[in-house]
Amino acid sequence: MKIAVAKYAVGNPADFEAFAARQRQILREACGAGVELAVLPEYLSLELASTFAPEISRDLNASLAALQTLQSEWLALYADLSRELRLVIQAGTFLTEVAPGRYRNRAWWFAPDGTRGYQDKLQLTGFERDAGVIEGGDELKVFDLAGVRAGIAICYDSEFPLPVRAQREAGARLLLVPSCTDTQAGATRVRVGCMARALENRIFVAQAVTTGTADWSPALDTNTGEATIYAPMDHGFPDDGILATTRGGQTWAIADLDIDALERHRAQAQVAVDLDWDGQKAPAFRQARHS
């Protein structure tokens, strides 16, 4: 399975059609490389806030409310591109109103046959909590994407091992991580989380990122990181766990994933955290004793 993860330079589109034209362009580039699944970053849809007046785009609450008027067009755009390009698309996230003035950070995926689904972000960052209008999700899902069972862990969620372990136990062998970080420390935390989830679960992890600056947006103001596809650090895979990563101005990191190899290499694994997982649940290990 050939996949691509985006390092997406945040722009300032004048209107929805300008936004849509750019999505068509970059996704056609991925399609031209023979990709079956493309992953876009968290908060990408907030780029659309620039299409509103400055008093709206510079105010998070006002921009979230205004964006709801574009949600049906946004959903239709990626559904149409998925069908047209015969490409599974994980379209980053759209902060979706679930009750008056209450939003969830929702990661949508689209398949060429017209099916679609989503995973809500479970854990909120300090920024999201402080906004006062964003709430965490209450359901953990896995999906079948292009013949591979996958889960989604939105940015901060990738730093928590237990939900991802539950996705792995539900059959996920690929974890999609749409992310958006504004500091090098934040980018490192998500990168380390992705590597840890790949190691302990023997799965592939595909992280998309935003990059650049958008001084008109309180959420997309500064962005950093590299889009990367991770594998377990073991026999048959790169020693550093990195299958592909962006450099400089690259938009896409692309890699072929051998899902069957994840199972084939289990018997010859140098370490088998996925198989030894339950060992840490021993009663004696649940509480440390000071001696």
Structural domains for the chain: 2-281 (3.60.110.10)
Report pLDDT for 3: 98
According to DSSP H, which parts of the chain are helical? 16-32, 54-57, 60-67, 71-85, 126-131, 161-169, 184-201, 259-264, 273-276
pLDDT at 78 over 90: yes
More confident residue, 267 or 183: 183
Report pLDDT for 217: 87
More confident residue, 291 or 205: 205
Query: Span 251-277, mean pLDDT?
Result: 88
Instruction: pLDDT band for 25, please (50, 70, 90 cuts).
Output: very high
pLDDT digits (tens, 9 = 90+) for 55-67: 999 999 999 999 9
Report pLDDT for 267: 74
pLDDT digits (tens, 9 = 90+) for 94-127: 999 999 999 999 999 999 999 999 999 999 999 9
Query: Span 28-33, mean pLDDT?
Result: 97
Determine the 3-state secondary structure of 102 from DSSP: strand
pLDDT at 215 over 90: no
Report pLDDT for 279: 93
pLDDT at 266 over 80: no
Which long-range contacts (C-beta less than 8 Å, at least 24 apart) are formed by 14-18? Answer: 14/50, 14/51, 15/51, 16/48, 16/51, 16/70, 16/73
Q: 136 φ, ψ to 5°?
A: -80, 160
Report pLDDT for 49: 95
